[in-house]
Structure 1
Amino acid sequence: MKKIAVVILNWNGQKLLEQFLPSVIQYSPEATVYVADNASTDNSVSFVQSTFPSVKIIQNTGNFGYAKGYNVALEQVEEEIYALVNSDIEVTENWLQPIITLFENDATLAIAQPKILDFKNKKMFEYAGAGGGFIDKYGFPFCRGRIFDTLEEDKGQYNDVIDIFWATGACFFIRKEVFRALNGLDADFFAHQEEIDLCWRAFNQGYKIQYCGLSTVYHVGGATLQTGSPMKTFLNFRNSLWMMTKNLPTRKLFPVLFIRMIFDGIAGVKFLAEGKPKHLWAVLKSHFYFYTHLPKYLKKRNQTQKENYYKINSIVYRYFIKNGKVFADLFKN
């Protein structure tokens, strides 16, 4: 058995598989390649079976979304390291070897991600993950190479290996034993920020997470749920509140949540001013869901929550008030 499994979650994504699966197969000789299908109604499964017979198929019984879809599929995968790879990822030659080496040389490493560049503009970092993820005090995620909607050009500034707080679900490596010890992704999230929640839980348990700039992949982004979708807004706002409820240190839980809700209110007003009432409604709906499910998520809290989870106090303040548009600007003064 090979040490690593590249697992691509698919739902009605035949065109994406036609475009991107060949590069995964060509450049992943170290891995067993799987397509985990979320009950597609197109010809995805038959296409893969007939065109790429070396690829193993896992057929889920429903469209379970990202989190449950992977949880169910990975019950059937026994390789030591899982690589969860979006169907709109183009990999590059030797992309796996630097990350495999990291895992082999450091038994404490649990999760990793490569450099994520934009498939449509390969000189630029891509929104989802970029050069490694961090989080601020109020639960706002940001990356080296991407802060809110500002993307950096790749000039080799992040061709390094560093510890990070979260790795992107677009191309997410995790040891099988850690994934199972943490009970996988939180299926209630369905999609968006479930990988940050998983990384936060791993961080609270003392696991190490790293970015490897020696490996590069290209991501289309928004291929399954468009950036301007109110559903995406709803999932991001709701899931962020749930994630914080599960993982914040006890003494910070309600004070930080209260301030985060104020930020969310400001975002809602901004959506309204921009003529996006559906996005305002998505924010309001996300808060309603949060309130009605709060007891459930309080019960999901682990006994251990570490204090030093954030790198800066407020990315919102640094970005909008102090003009910290790129990662290096955040730590001036």
Structure 2
Amino acid sequence: MKLAIVILNWNGKQLLEQFIPSIIKYSQEADLYVADNASTDDSVTFLKTHFPKVQIVQNKINGGYAKGYNDALKHIEADVFCLLNSDIEVTPNWLIPIVQEFQLNSNTAIIQPKILDFNKKTHFEYAGAAGGFIDKYGYPFCRGRIFNSIEEDKGQYDDTTTVFWASGACFFIRKTTFESLSGFDESYFAHFEEIDLCWRAFNAGYITKYVGASTVYHVGGATLNAIHPKKTYLNFRNSLFTITKNAYGFLFGVIFIRLILDGISGLKFLIHFQFRHFLAILKAHYSFYSNVSRLLKQRRQLPKKKNYYKTTSIVWSYFVRKRYYYQLLVNVLKF
């Protein structure tokens, strides 16, 4: 099986300098590529000088995560792609369990390893943790992280299991699967595009797995209150995009409830004087309404599958029933 690790870069020389050495050291089984999103720093020159064996794919524009990978992967030959953030530290033998899972189970299409926090290595990382799920209203959550509650890694998720979505921070996918799904939706630019792709994969009958025997450490990740307003905008907008395109059943009832919940989130930002985040939610909804016609057209063209959600409302479970950790949800999950 031919494996290609592809790191998307935009003005990330410092991160490449920090993390490329461990990737090279512990990834002998794979070909290593950097897909450069039209950087204006000296990232590419740095790579050519210090890591000449790293292959470079030069994208013409910075199209974000979605278009950046769509454009780059067209030029890479492999059976499996590993889409790896530039702020990931890998560990010895991290690829072996992943490769074994792909080889042993031909129906496994997408895989995520265990993702721990680079700055607090005893704990899971916000973006992906131990594999993701989604509730009826399109709110994502993870084993090991629900909203801002992040678990310590005590070996509770050392298993291999089916999940609903895999984190884009370290995302393995068969090339045939990626191509059959036409890659990422480029209208997303960044954020939520991997959940959309995994949802489309689920609806098409593909299986996404979490492999806990493989571990990486991720620098990124933040609570909602700490992130940039642009991320708030993209997360809220792209979440609405995703549920409109992919959710099974009566869509407008789900969207109506979702709009109410988003309104409550907006009021929370307003009460805490986080006006830029409040405006970001308004902007996200305006963009959603502007794109409804296109999204409904996509919805009609895409297959749908029942039982996509793990719980009716993770918001209710977390904020009302005080179920802050995944293991407290196990007895009430529906998926």
Decide: shared fold, TM above 0.5. Answer: yes
Q: 1:222 to 1:14 in 2, by over 3 A?
A: farther
CA distance in structure 1 between the partners assigned to 2:122 and 2:92 by the alignment: 17
CA distance in structure 2 between the partners assigned to 1:23 and 1:226 by the alignment: 32
User: 1:252, CA displacement in angstroms?
Assistant: 2.3
Match of 1:261 in 2: 259
* CA displacement, residues 179-203 of structure 1 (integer Å, 9 cap, x when unaligned): 0010000000000000000000000
CA distance in structure 1 between the partners assigned to 2:272 and 2:211 by the alignment: 38
User: 1:332, CA displacement in angstroms?
Assistant: 4.2
Aligned length: 330
> Structure 1 residue runs of 4+, over 3 Å off?
none
**Residues 1:232 and 2:231 aligned together:** yes
Q: Which runs of 5+ in 2 are unaligned?
A: none
> Per the alignment, in what secondary structure is the counterpart of residue 40 of structure 1?
coil
CA distance in structure 1 between the partners assigned to 2:225 and 2:62 by the alignment: 18
Amino acid at match of 1:284: L
Query: Contact 1:226–1:232 (CA<8 Å) still a contact in 2?
Result: no
Match of 1:293 in 2: 291
* CA displacement, residues 211-261 of structure 1 (integer Å, 9 cap, x when unaligned): 0000000000059x9942000000000000000111011x32111011001
Q: 1:95 to 1:226 in 2, by over 3 A?
A: farther
Query: Contact 2:132–2:140 (CA<8 Å) still a contact in 1?
Result: yes
CA distance in structure 2 between the partners assigned to 1:74 and 1:142 by the alignment: 28
> Per the alignment, in what secondary structure is the counterpart of residue 200 of structure 2?
helix
Deviates more, 1:293-302 or 1:272-281: 293-302
Amino acid at match of 1:271: F
Superposition map of 1:1-333 within 5 A: 3-222=2-221, 227-249=226-248, 251-301=249-299, 302-332=301-331
CA distance in structure 2 between the partners assigned to 1:127 and 1:140 by the alignment: 14
User: 1:331, CA displacement in angstroms?
Assistant: 2.9
Percent of matched pairs sharing the same residue: 59
User: 1:315, CA displacement in angstroms?
Assistant: 0.5
Q: Which runs of 5+ in 1 are unaligned?
A: none
> Per the alignment, in what secondary structure is the counterpart of residue 300 of structure 1?
helix
CA distance in structure 2 between the partners assigned to 1:113 and 1:135 by the alignment: 16
Query: Contact 2:66–2:188 (CA<8 Å) still a contact in 1?
Result: yes
TM-score by length of 1: 0.97
TM-score by length of 2: 0.97
Amino acid at match of 1:265: G
Amino acid at match of 2:37: N
CA distance in structure 2 between the partners assigned to 1:186 and 1:300 by the alignment: 11
CA distance in structure 2 between the partners assigned to 1:157 and 1:19 by the alignment: 30
Query: Contact 2:246–2:302 (CA<8 Å) still a contact in 1?
Result: no
CA distance in structure 1 between the partners assigned to 2:28 and 2:302 by the alignment: 41
Amino acid at match of 1:179: F
User: 1:275, CA displacement in angstroms?
Assistant: 1.0
Deviates more, 1:225-234 or 1:312-321: 225-234
CA distance in structure 2 between the partners assigned to 1:72 and 1:228 by the alignment: 27
> Per the alignment, in what secondary structure is the counterpart of residue 184 of structure 1?
coil
- RMSD value over aligned CA atoms? 1.3
Query: Contact 1:112–1:209 (CA<8 Å) still a contact in 2?
Result: yes
* CA displacement, residues 133-188 of structure 1 (integer Å, 9 cap, x when unaligned): 00011100000000001100000000000000000000000000000010000000
CA distance in structure 2 between the partners assigned to 1:57 and 1:51 by the alignment: 13
CA distance in structure 1 between the partners assigned to 2:283 and 2:302 by the alignment: 30
CA distance in structure 2 between the partners assigned to 1:34 and 1:331 by the alignment: 39
Amino acid at match of 2:202: F
Query: Contact 1:9–1:37 (CA<8 Å) still a contact in 2?
Result: yes
Amino acid at match of 1:254: F
CA distance in structure 2 between the partners assigned to 1:320 and 1:157 by the alignment: 23
* CA displacement, residues 43-101 of structure 1 (integer Å, 9 cap, x when unaligned): 10010111111100000001110000000000001110000000000000000010000
Amino acid at match of 1:5: A
